[in-house]
């Protein structure tokens, strides 16, 4: 009975569509942060960047009535968090996890305030978010018409296609460009990088801005794309799940992408089973992706090899 | 010869320390110039000023006839100065080629062009006889090869002056010979080399001229052919020195320490000590030679109870002490002189007195019913400071304010004043000047003569050779051989240190006739 229903979920195209849909925000966020992580900065503040992306998207789109302005503002908001984080963690050298926790909590409050300021006056809703323009579906000509593969892969929001490209792109940047080499060196042995004239701070700032842009984009995908609405804390911890995917994938772009796929699939499964309404209390279903995340993390923890300078602020021995 | 680099009146201070004072130095093109001095003489600081790590407080740096200011390493590199630091600046997970090009623009910017780089590296390695695989990752390479990568890095950046900071400290005797060959071939191509060292033989071996530094000042610059090791030693220390410690022949007594098939892991959880067995008797010093990082430190830690053995046994005077706590082992009359007096050896923020009673403060006569006996403690401390010649304004000084040599004397006083049966000394003279080294060595031989068994771990081969009754050589956690200290063959020991020779225990039968078991 239960198995039958599960089978019906697994045989349904919608499940696979949902996997791609649910993986995308994790993928964009994780790929965005991987460079900063590789440069030795712990990007535990991804949740903050994504939250600011969700509110940036809805405000940009709502105020200008142009969804692309929403995308742009989401990326800018994400980058602002990246910049603040860079100033505090890279320049001042404060503890990165603590700073991240502060940013994550701050962004939660700030996004709620920004929402209230933009969409309400004196407690009255002046603009309903439902009417805010949202991202269009782009169906790829020809490919989109292939049975099964078409709907699963080629009829999505624009960010999904970016997600397809971002994995090889990040891999290429990391391993095939001089900048990627600098990133890896800075994360493993910043003193060595410093003595050959690389600015450790510059590399980390750039990587954090890149992370901010992509995490912001991921937030926009959630608010003005996937859900087309806004609520408080609407990322629901996806920033942390994406962070986990980075650790799970051991900082290798392809493995990290597979990690986001695993967590995205868990999310999709939970949604589809929820839709079936088969009597499993919904709290358990909602828990499911987080439990998968924890199990995945436990299975690699201890064996994950962090970038050697991860979380350590860099200071020259003497100026 | 043309002048390449000239330093004029370089002065560099750190808070409370005058590291370099009025230093003049001239480096000619194509020479190997030794910078000789004891630890703390200011050699590294001076070169860091040239390389842009530090800025001198005053003085001039003149490069090829023009005065230059060097703000950071990048500037020095741009001028054609390369430096190989004592601690390599290589990124372990990256390949040789990646390390070599790190920070340089690529010919196909922004893309890497590693294939072309690997080819260039191979050409350079052929030209100078540096044998390096450009595709290997740094962490896979032995230290000697890593050093070549550092040299390669400098050559790839067209260095005309190569500064090597104590390059032989991490090498086996065989590797030292190879390095010297490379250096000679470099100077043939017109490079100049500054070779920092405190080892006199190396100066005589490979250098053309020597500048001796003492207490931050230049004592003298001489041609090698016009001097000898004795004169250099005198200039370096400022007085006559006798590093040979007199050691009477003694017949070893009962077995004090017995180590059987001992294995242990290092901090990363990898095997560091592998099936090590040996014994030490009364009136005997067993020296453990080996390049740093071959399991010697871990071995000492296990015996002292500071690291768990994964298998095997440690037996002290007949009783099994394997994996007991450090305190239980101390109670077996064991003294431990750790390799890092700053971290393990002393509590730097505590006073000398507190440090001196650090191992026995809890028991009489120092404390009774849980109360310190101030008078007894103070008497003990004053006597220890006197006996061990600790130069200090008073016993209430914090340990961190002492110089390295005096800090080590405090450690010795604490460890040796209780007349221990077993002394584990790990790198006891590391970082000490010749005077303090002499002192520490004399004290250890005294302990031996009194009847203690000593385990001496040292990466200074010369120290092991001059003090040991028997010498064990460790390589990658294993003992490659144990040989008598008298007339030891340095060549053979060098080969064991490099892991290419294994001789077993040549001393196994000595003294076996009178195995006494006392517990
Ligand atoms: N960064 C630093 N801060 C303070 N003192 C230092 C620093 N570096 C070196 N010193 C001091 O300067 C002196 C010279 O040190 P150093 O140049 O390392 O000597 P050497 O290389 O000849 O052994 C020593 O007294 C040392 O303690
Ligand atoms: Mg030095």
Ligand 2 centroid to B46 CA: how many Å?
9
Number of A/B CB contacts below 8 angstroms equals 72
Residue contact B90–A189, C-beta within 8 A? yes
Of the given ranges (A124-133, B151-160, B271-280), which has the lowest mean pLDDT? Answer: A124-133
State pLDDT tens for residues B374-429. Answer: 898 999 999 889 888 888 888 888 888 887 778 888 998 999 888 999 999 998 98
Cβ atoms of residues B210 and B32 within 8 Å: no
> What residues of chain A, 192 to 231, have a C-beta less than 8 Å from chain B?
192-198
Atom of ligand 1 nearest to the CA of B165: 21
For an interface test with B, the pick among A174, A175, A178, A202 (most B C-beta atoms closer than 10 Å) comes out as A178
CA distance A185 to A136: 40
* Whether residue B250 has pLDDT greater than 50: yes
At A53, is the pLDDT very low, low, confident or very high (cuts 50, 70, 90)?
A: very high
At B231, is the pLDDT very low, low, confident or very high (cuts 50, 70, 90)?
A: confident
Of residues A179, A185, A319, nearest to B94 (C-beta): A185
Structure tokens at B250: 């003694």
- Average pLDDT in the A12-35 region? 95
- Average pLDDT in the A73-82 region? 98
CA distance B116 to B109: 13
SS3 labels along A135-187: CCCEECCCHHHCCCHHHHHCEECHHHHHHHHHHHHHHHHHHHEHHHHHHHHHH
Q: For CA atoms B100, B102, B104, B109, give the dihedral sign.
A: positive
Of residues B74, B92, B112, nearest to A177 (C-beta): B112
Strands (DSSP E) contained in B121-205 are 161-165, 192-197
CA distance A76 to B129: 54
Q: What is the pLDDT of residue B510?
A: 54
Residues of B in contact with A198 (CB under 8 A): 102-103
SS3 content of chain A, % helix, strand, coil (to 5): 75, 5, 25
At B127, is the pLDDT very low, low, confident or very high (cuts 50, 70, 90)?
A: confident
Q: What is the pLDDT of residue B514?
A: 42
Which among B14, B85, B163 is the best mutation to test ligand 1's pocket, defined by most ligand atoms within 8 Å of the CB? Answer: B14
ipTM at complex level: 0.88
Residues of B in contact with A184 (CB under 8 A): 91, 93-94
Residues of A in contact with B55 (CB under 8 A): 319
If you compute the radius of gyration of chain B from its CA atoms, what whole number of angstroms results? Answer: 25
Q: Is A302 exposed, middle or buried (0-12, 13-18, 19+ CB in 10 A)?
A: exposed
Q: Is A302 on the interface with B (CB under 8 A)?
A: no
Q: Is A181 on the interface with B (CB under 8 A)?
A: yes
Q: What is the pLDDT of residue A249?
A: 93
pTM: 0.77
- Average pLDDT in the B166-189 region? 89
C-alpha closest to that of A75 among A247, A215, A235 = A215
* Whether residue B519 has pLDDT greater than 80: no
As a whole number of Å, the end-to-end CA separation of chain A is 71
Range of A265-279, B367-381, B464-478 with top mean pLDDT: B464-478
Identify which has the larger pLDDT, A9 or A259. A259
Residue contact A181–B101, C-beta within 8 A? yes
Structure tokens at B435: 């005077």
Shortest distance between the Cα of A301 and any Cα of chain B, in A, equals: 15
Identify which has the larger pLDDT, A60 or A2. A60
Shortest distance between the Cα of A196 and any Cα of chain B, in A, equals: 6
- Average pLDDT in the B423-447 region? 86
* Whether residue B240 has pLDDT greater than 70: no
Q: What is the pLDDT of residue B68?
A: 95
CA distance A156 to A20: 9
Q: Do strands B371-372 and B367-368 pair parallel, antiparallel, or not at all (unpaired)?
A: antiparallel
Q: What is the pLDDT of residue B509?
A: 64
Cβ atoms of residues B334 and B416 within 8 Å: no
If you compute the radius of gyration of chain A from its CA atoms, what whole number of angstroms results? Answer: 20
Q: What is the pLDDT of residue A297?
A: 83
* Whether residue B94 has pLDDT greater than 80: yes
At B284, is the pLDDT very low, low, confident or very high (cuts 50, 70, 90)?
A: very high
State pLDDT tens for residues B316-347. Answer: 999 999 999 999 999 999 999 988 887 788 89
Residue contact A177–B93, C-beta within 8 A? no
State pLDDT tens for residues B59-71. Answer: 999 999 999 999 9
Sheet containing strand B17-28, edge to edge, reads B17-28, B3-14, B58-63, B66-68
Q: What residues flank ligand 1, with Cβ below 6 Å?
A: A 318; B 14, 17, 19, 37, 39-45
User: Taking the CB of residue A62, how many other CB atoms lie within 10 A of it?
Assistant: 24
* Whether residue B365 has pLDDT greater than 90: no
- Average pLDDT in the B194-203 region? 89
Q: What is the mean pLDDT of chain B?
A: 89
Cβ-based neighbours of B269, under 8 Å, separated by 6 or more? none
Cβ atoms of residues B474 and B275 within 8 Å: no
- Average pLDDT in the A5-25 region? 90
Residue contact B74–A177, C-beta within 8 A? no
Residues of A in contact with B56 (CB under 8 A): none
Q: Is B294 exposed, middle or buried (0-12, 13-18, 19+ CB in 10 A)?
A: buried
* Whether residue B516 has pLDDT greater than 50: no
- DSSP structure class, residue B172: -
Cβ-defined contacts of B126-129 (< 8 Å, 24+): B127/B189, B128/B155, B128/B182, B128/B185, B128/B186, B128/B189, B129/B181, B129/B182, B129/B185
The ligand with the least distance to the CA atom of B35 is 1
Q: What is the pLDDT of residue A302?
A: 65
Q: What is the pLDDT of residue A317?
A: 62
Of the given ranges (A66-75, A211-220, B496-505), which has the lowest mean pLDDT? Answer: B496-505
Ligand 2 centroid to B39 CA: how many Å?
6
At B362, is the pLDDT very low, low, confident or very high (cuts 50, 70, 90)?
A: confident
Q: What is the pLDDT of residue A303?
A: 67
* Whether residue B512 has pLDDT greater than 80: no
Q: Where are chain A's structural domains?
A: 2-138+147-306
Atom of ligand 1 nearest to the CA of B37: 22
CATH topology of domain A2-138+147-306: ABC transporter involved in vitamin B12 uptake, BtuC (1.10.3470)
Q: What is the pLDDT of residue A319?
A: 40
Cβ atoms of residues B87 and B104 within 8 Å: no
Residues of A in contact with B93 (CB under 8 A): 184, 188
């Amino acid at each position: 009975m239960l198995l039958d229903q599960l089978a019906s979920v697994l045989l349904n195209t919608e499940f696979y569509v949902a996997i791609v849909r649910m993986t995308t925000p994790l993928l964009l966020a994780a790929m965005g942060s991987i460079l900063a992580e590789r440069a030795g900065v712990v990007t535990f503040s991804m949740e903050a960047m994504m939250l600011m992306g969700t509110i940036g998207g809805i405000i940009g789109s709502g105020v200008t009535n142009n969804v692309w302005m929403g995308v742009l503002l989401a990326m800018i908001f994400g980058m602002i968090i990246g910049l603040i984080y860079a100033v505090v963690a890279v320049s001042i050298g404060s503890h990165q996890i603590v700073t991240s926790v502060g940013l994550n909590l701050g962004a939660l409050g700030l996004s709620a305030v920004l929402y209230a300021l933009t969409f309400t006056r004196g407690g009255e809703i002046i603009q309903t978010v439902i009417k805010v323009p949202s991202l269009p579906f782009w169906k790829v000509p020809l490919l989109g018409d292939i049975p099964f593969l078409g709907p699963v892969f080629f009829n999505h929001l624009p960010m999904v296609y970016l997600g397809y490209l971002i994995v090889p792109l990040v891999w290429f940047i990391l391993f095939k460009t001089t900048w990627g080499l600098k990133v890896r060196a800075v994360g493993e042995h910043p003193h060595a990088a410093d003595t050959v004239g690389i600015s450790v701070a510059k590399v980390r700032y750039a990587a954090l801005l890149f992370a901010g842009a992509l995490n912001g984009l991921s937030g926009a995908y959630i608010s003005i794309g996937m859900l087309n609405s806004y609520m408080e804390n609407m990322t629901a911890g996806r920033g942390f799940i994406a962070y986990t995917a980075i650790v799970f994938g051991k900082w290798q772009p392809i493995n990290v992408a597979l990690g986001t796929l695993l967590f995205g699939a868990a999310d999709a499964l939970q949604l589809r089973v929820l839709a079936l309404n088969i009597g499993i209390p919904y709290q358990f279903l909602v828990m499911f992706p987080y439990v998968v995340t924890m199990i995945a993390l436990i299975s690699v923890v201890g064996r994950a090899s962090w970038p050697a300078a991860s979380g350590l602020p860099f200071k020259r021995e003497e100026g | 010869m043309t002048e390449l680099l000239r330093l004029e009146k370089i002065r560099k201070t750190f808070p409370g320390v005058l590291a370099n004072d009025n230093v003049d130095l001239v480096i000619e093109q194509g020479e190997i110039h030794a910078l000789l001095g004891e630890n703390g003489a200011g050699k590294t600081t001076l070169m860091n000023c040239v390389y842009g790590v530090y800025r001198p407080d005053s003085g001039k740096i003149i490069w090829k006839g023009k005065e230059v200011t060097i703000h950071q390493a990048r500037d020095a590199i741009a001028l054609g100065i390369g430096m190989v630091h004592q601690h390599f600046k290589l990124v372990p997970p990256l390949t040789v080629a990646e390390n070599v090009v790190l920070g340089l623009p690529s010919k196909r910017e922004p893309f890497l062009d590693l294939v072309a780089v690997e080819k260039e590296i191979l050409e350079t390695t052929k030209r100078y006889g540096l044998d390096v695989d450009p595709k290997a990752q740094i962490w896979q390479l032995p230290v000697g090869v890593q050093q070549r990568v550092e040299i390669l890095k400098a050559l790839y950046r067209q260095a005309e002056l190569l500064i090597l900071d104590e390059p032989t400290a991490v090498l086996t005797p065989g590797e030292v010979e190879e390095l010297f060959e490379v250096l000679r071939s470099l100077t043939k191509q017109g490079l100049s080399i500054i070779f920092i060292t405190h080892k006199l033989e190396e100066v005589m071996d490979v250098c053309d001229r020597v500048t001796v530094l003492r207490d931050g000042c230049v004592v003298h610059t001489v041609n090698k052919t016009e001097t000898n090791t004795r004169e250099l030693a005198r200039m370096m220390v400022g007085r006559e020195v006798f590093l040979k410690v007199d050691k009477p022949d003694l017949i070893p007594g009962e077995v004090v320490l017995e180590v059987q098939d001992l294995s242990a892991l290092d901090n990363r959880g990898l095997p560091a000590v592998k099936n090590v067995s040996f014994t030490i008797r009364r009136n005997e010093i067993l020296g453990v030679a080996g390049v740093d990082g071959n399991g010697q430190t871990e071995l000492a830690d296990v015996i002292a109870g500071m690291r768990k053995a994964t298998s095997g046994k440690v037996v002290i005077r007949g009783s099994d002490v394997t994996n007991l706590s450090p305190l239980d082992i101390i109670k077996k009359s064991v003294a431990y002189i750790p390799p890092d007096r700053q971290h393990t050896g002393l509590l730097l923020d505590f006073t000398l007195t507190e440090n001196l009673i650090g191992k026995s403060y809890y028991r009489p006569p120092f404390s009774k019913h849980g109360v310190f006996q101030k008078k007894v403690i103070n008497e003990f401390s004053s006597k220890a400071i006197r006996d061990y010649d600790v130069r200090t304004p008073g016993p209430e000084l914090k340990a961190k304010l002492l110089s390295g040599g005096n800090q080590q004397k405090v450690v010795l006083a604490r460890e040796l004043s209780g007349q221990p049966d077993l002394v584990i000394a790990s790198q006891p003279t590391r970082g000490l000047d010749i005077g303090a080294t002499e002192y520490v060595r004399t004290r250890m031989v005294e302990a031996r003569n009194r009847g203690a068994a000593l385990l001496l771990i040292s990466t200074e081969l010369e120290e092991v050779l001059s003090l040991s009754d028997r010498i064990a050589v460790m390589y990658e956690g294993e003992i490659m051989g144990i040989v008598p200290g008298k007339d030891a063959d340095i060549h053979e020991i060098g080969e064991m240190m490099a892991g290419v020779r294994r001789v077993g225990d040549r001393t196994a039968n000595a003294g076996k006739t009178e195995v006494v078991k006392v517990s």
